[in-house]
Amino acid sequence: MWPSAELHVHIEGTLEVPLLLRLAERNAVELVSSDPEVLQRRYAFDSLQSFLDLYYENLAVLRTEQDFYELCSAYLERAARAGVRHAEIFFDPQSHTERGVPLGTVVFGLSRAIGEAQERWGMTASLILCLLRHLGGEAASDMIRAALPFRRHFVGVGLDSSELGFPPSLFQEAFAIAAAEGLHRVAHAGEEGGPDYVWEALDLLGVERVDHGNRALEDAELMAVLRERRIPLTVCPLSNLALKTAPDELADHALPVMLDEGLLASVHSDDPAYFGGYLDDNIAALRAAGVLTEEQFGVLAANSIVSSFASAERKAELLAEVRAHALALGVAVPAAARRGAAE
């Protein structure tokens, strides 16, 4: 497996059915069924919203700091097996605080697992606080202000949840607060929303990465800007299939076009418990579809590292691992890895 960074994964979306059942029993939360097969069958969707409905329903089992610690630890252990060497993990505090779970409970549980990542799994990791679009711009600004006492626990802010009807322009104040605090800024855009959502994320929110961005390919001028500014796109193939935001076959996915166009694209798992796989599963599915060469898988790995918010030293270390892996496979070393440092 290529050593990679995972930059687009929602920790709440890693809630596997066995852990869901265990936490439900621990916290006396009644689920629609206690049969794992019945629950797993519910993980089938016809749209982003149908997924989000179940996603938010299942969050009821997350109540205590220990719950969040176990959730994050389970993800980190699984990600390490998938070749992830550095992870930048989204979390949705509003989905918990509105249920009465204190923000500190969420942050401290997740941070405790991240603090153990290097020793336990040989990984580095950090948190990105995501704002829920469907709650609106004022709630997003309030959330950022409420989170500032916990500033040392997260490196950036993101924007997720229902995309259509909630353009980036609604969240300018929240992202301005984040920028003033020196936080990194990313946003979901161009998954269901069109290229205009990507333009707004860039021009109005000042994002450094675009999460998804598939529909940017519909706008040649936008592609040129993404290419020239080296704005990363964090692409999630199995998620796109599950939510029907891409063609039904991976052989027709936009990812090869992104690479051919010189865009800084990389592969990630999004909500792996719901969408059929972790990073290695996404790579395996792309490999089975025969749409990428082994050299291109190396480019994706190098792109993920270059696109991360890790320190320059950490990026150089991981790119050296990519270089060594390419040499071991006998394939061309990605350009970023040949340089041995981030772009």
Q: Catalytic amino acids?
A: 191
By the 8 A CB rule, do 62 and 68 touch? Answer: yes
Residue type, 145: R
Q: Is 268 annotated as a binding residue?
A: no
Q: Is 270 annotated as a binding residue?
A: yes
- Residue 170, SS3? helix
Q: Is 160 annotated as a binding residue?
A: no
Which of 250, 230, 226 is closest to 238 using CA atoms?
A: 250
Q: Read off the tokens for 268.
A: 């990630």
Which of 340, 272, 223, 225 is closest to 79 using CA atoms?
A: 272
Q: Read off the tokens for 44.
A: 């089938």
Q: Is 10 annotated as a binding residue?
A: yes
Cα(215)–Cα(233) distance, rounded to whole angstroms?
11
Beta bridge partners of residue 235, listed in sequence order: 267
Could you identify the residue written with the tokens 């865009």?
263
**Extended beta strands in the chain, E state:** 4-10, 84-91, 124-132, 156-160, 184-189, 209-212, 233-235, 265-267
Q: How many CB atoms lie within 10 A of CB 248?
A: 8
Beta bridge partners of residue 10, listed in sequence order: 90
What radius of gyration do the chain's Cα atoms show? 19
Which H, E and C letters describe 109-161, residue by residue? HHHHHHHCHHHHHCCEEEEEEEEEHHHCHHHHHHHHHHHHHHHHHCCEEEEEC
Long-range (24+ apart) CB contacts under 8 A made by 52-58 are 52/161, 52/162, 54/274, 55/12, 55/13, 55/271, 55/274, 56/95, 58/15, 58/20
- Which residues contribute to the annotated binding site for Zn(2+)? 8, 10, 188, 270
Binding residues: 8, 10, 188, 270-271
Binding residues for substrate: 271
